[in-house]
Amino acid sequence: MPVLPPDEHVRVLISEERIRERIAELALEIRAQVGSEPVTCIGVLKGSFIFMADLVRALGGPVRCEFLGVSSYHGGTRSTGVVRITQDLRHPIEGQHCLLIEDIVDTGLTLDYLKHFLGGHRPASLRTVTLLDKPDHREVEVDADHVGFTIPDEFVVGYGLDLGELYRNLPFIGVYSP
């Protein structure tokens, strides 16, 4: 277990082992739908980078990787409600089968925005996968096609998710409390 500062606590919500198991299941679900077609995986930075790395390895088959930088938190524990693209796609996705990979769907604002944004790039198909879904906190009705885990309305860190750029390296999903 990583050492945390003495005034902070992270309670394990989803173990490293359970995450690994669920990613294998998600990969099978996704491949069952897309078949052996090449898939362009689009990771939403920074939070999805660990999930994406594990998922693309589990997917197998022909995979391209792209990244979008997006921000709606700006360092705090609550979304600002304003979605900003901080890094655009490097290559065109027109005509490609795409999988948008998110770390967490919280308010729904980012996923809704990105589905419209990427749809404008005219992919052959666009599916979405999120490691975590927090439906009790929705501001916009939007669903991911594939969901790893549904979680309660608590602030979580680890496995790529951060608080002020810290805790991304935790190998599990934990509930943060100061």
106 is catalytic: yes
Alpha helix (H) ranges present in 60-128?
109-119
Render the burial of 77-89: b for 16+ CB within 10 Å, e for the rest. Answer: eebeeebeeeeeb
Q: Which of 54, 88, 103, 106 is catalytic?
A: 106
**Rounded CA separation 68/63 (Å):** 16
- Contact between residue 67 and residue 42 where contact means Cβ atoms under 8 Å apart: yes
Contacts of 27 (CB under 8 A, 6+ apart): 55, 58, 59, 60
Catalytically active residues, by annotation: 106
